[in-house]
């Protein structure tokens, strides 16, 4: 009888420990919260512009665009200039691009520094001059289109190549 009681006690102990281990294994949990924030790259084109009225040969039109960052991270910017009338471009002198900007082979002008949150680039150009020998000039607009990409650890060239 003594051996029987010890066997029952040992069996109960083994079942109890096994049930406890099984319960712990099946109900154990561990949570880890990984929070990620998303940065925003946001820019606007700001310009000083004085409507020219009548466009005549030799007319200097004040137009000085620059890019403003309202991003929350550093970014690189580039801009393109488009005339709405291709003939009108031929009636104007070549744009004088200001220091800090560099013409790319892709038709964009690249600001050569990181643009930090709240900063502005220098003006891309200051004016558009109608050629002295221009004949009848068709009405036209000049659009400045800008893009931005976050800097990260990239150089300006690497940053733009990554999104191409």
pLDDT digits (tens, 9 = 90+) for 6-38: 777 777 877 777 777 777 667 767 777 888 777
**CA atoms of 164 and 161, how far apart (whole Å):** 5
Q: How far apart, in Å, are the Cα atoms of 4 and each of 10, 12, 18, 83?
A: 10, 12, 21, 102
Over the chain, what is the mean pLDDT?
88
pLDDT number for residue 159: 92
**Residues in a beta bridge with 46:** 66
Task: Confirm if 128 and 142 have CB atoms less than 8 A apart.
Answer: yes
pLDDT digits (tens, 9 = 90+) for 37-57: 777 899 999 999 988 888 889
pLDDT number for residue 79: 97
CA-CA-CA-CA dihedral for 108, 112, 117, 119, to nearest 10: -90
What global pTM score does this model have?
A: 0.76
pLDDT number for residue 35: 81
């Amino acid at each position: 009888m003594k051996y029987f009681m010890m066997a029952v006690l040992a069996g109960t102990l083994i079942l109890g420990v096994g049930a406890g281990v099984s319960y712990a294994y099946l109900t154990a949990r561990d949570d880890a919260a990984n929070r990620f924030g998303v940065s925003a790259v946001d820019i606007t084109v700001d310009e000083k512009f004085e409507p020219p009225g009548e466009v005549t040969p030799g007319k200097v039109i004040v137009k000085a665009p620059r890019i403003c960052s309202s991003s929350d991270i550093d970014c690189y910017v580039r801009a393109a200039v488009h005339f709405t009338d291709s003939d009108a471009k031929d009636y104007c002198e070549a744009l004088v691009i200001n220091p800090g900007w560099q013409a790319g082979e892709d038709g964009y002008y690249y600001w050569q520094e990181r643009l930090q949150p709240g900063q502005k680039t220098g003006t891309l150009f200051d004016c558009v001059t109608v050629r002295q020998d221009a004949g009848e000039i068709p009405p036209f607009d000049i659009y400045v289109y800008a893009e931005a990409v976050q800097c990260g650890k990239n150089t300006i060239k690497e940053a733009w190549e990554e999104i191409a």
